Chain A
């Protein structure tokens, strides 16, 4: 589905990504774990076109998308739920969901997906007419994921879905992520600081350190890896 090969990227003259290699197969949940500033968010930004890489390839379904504009990449079915959740704060919950489906023309499909996200997050239906900026942090995260799903993603990128949420809410969000993958067969790439949650929920994972992918493995195996346990799980 997605293959990131030897990608490097910079903000101005500061090299932030040196050598990133990631593969996401169809129907997989893959997570990127690593410390703050290691390059997780930047990696997602490069994949969705928000930042142009200075080297390497980003292959989506066999096609190199590196250097394309974000709206062009979005039209290929890649949906990125960015850092800060990417909501439109002065629009209603319903309008945000509509915007998520901006590129779609299949009215029936949109209606079905709306029902699916409302069944996934019933609170969003209750808050349908409320402005997104007035929702709680947990509700905003639900809306962010729901808005991403409304784009009928072939691949979903989630940046820090657990950020700023209570432990109960983190559980609910990760349950929903698993359910989306299971029921919809959507492959998902998650950048996450909460290594324990991310590794438990993923099939496979990559460890990013100083802008390079340094380790790769089965999610549950990495949970038992000594380096990962010491550096990211605090055990």
Chain B
């Protein structure tokens, strides 16, 4: 095999891994803070991509500049849905089981997120139709050539940069701000968080905003590279769950590590066994990791 091809695929895998990490981190935060498995996570990814497309069509300009706007809008949709769909159930469960209710074991939550996923896919079908759309960007046609015969599209580099920056911003936010610390506290011990005066319902809103806007951002920045279509979230949510489980449920750093690992593994899998095996390799990695570390690479919530 040519060393150039290997290096190129390795770098592409890591760049893709950055985006898997961003999608996975959003999903794992929802799990860590709300103990909720959000099967509609991929649909926020899809909504972000379509909204960016709509913004590009309406305002002109480049999707990489408009992506943050679309991410914020989808984040607000996330908050609205959280209040509308889940809030009354949180309150009911808390009253029935005390402050530390484990929502993910509740069938109603699982069905609600699956229903939400179906609803959002159908909504996108009605609004945008089933035909895949490409978001036009000036970066797609720019090829960056590096010494040694390596070349990457500028769009992929942009996507990786945006994903990485958003992860660094999120990490810093959780580490140093008061709200960030309250999110970590709620995730580690929800009843103790309520007892020090944290309004955990507000923390759920903030977490939902972060999670859905990260998904939307990821959809937006991949939109110009892959096509945008109503069911695009369904492939991604499976991958996101692989990342979350491999990294350890609810573990942020675990998801980041697992995102890069899965991205790399897929890329290498495609290179060594043929592109049809890319998906298989991701699941294989998850099974392997769970053999040796049943709680994921860095361990997660039990």
Contact = CB atoms under 8 A, between A and B. Distances in A.
B225 interface: no
A88 B189 contact: yes
Contact of B189 (A70, A71, A86): A86
A99 B184 CA distance: 10
Interface string A76-109: 0001101000111111000100111011000000
Nearest to A103: B197
A167 interface: no
A115 interface: no
B95 to A, nearest CB: 6
A88 B185 contact: yes
A38 interface: no
Contacts of B193: 88, 99
Interface in A28-79: 45, 48-52, 69-71, 74-75, 79
A88 B195 CA distance: 12
A80 B197 CA distance: 10
B275 interface: no
Nearest to B189: A88
B194 interface: yes
A151 interface: yes
Given A50-B98, A70-B99, A91-B184, A100 B196 contact: yes
B52 interface: no
Interface residues of A, number: 30
Judged by DSSP, the binding face of A is loop
A224 interface: no
A70 B200 CA distance: 10
B197 A102 contact: yes
Interface in B186-218: 188-189, 191-200
B181 interface: yes
A180 B195 CA distance: 20
A234 interface: no
Given A88-B184, A88-B189, A102-B182, A12 B96 contact: yes
Contacts of B189: 86-89
Given A98-B181, A99-B181, A80 B188 contact: no
Interface in B159-185: 178, 181-182, 184-185
B194 A95 contact: no
Contacts of B185: 88, 91, 99
A91 B176 CA distance: 12
Contacts of B195: 48, 50, 70, 74, 79-80, 82, 86
Contact of B188 (A75, A82, A91): A91
Chain B CB within 10 Å, residue with most, of A48, A71, A87, A91: A71
27 contacts: A12-B96, A45-B98, A49-B194, A50-B98, A51-B98, A52-B95, A69-B194, A69-B199, A70-B195, A71-B194, A71-B197, A71-B198, A80-B195, A82-B191, A82-B192, A86-B189, A87-B192, A88-B193, A90-B188, A91-B184, A91-B185, A99-B185, A100-B196, A102-B197, A103-B196, A103-B197, A147-B196
Interface of B: 95-96, 98-99, 178, 181-182, 184-185, 188-189, 191-200
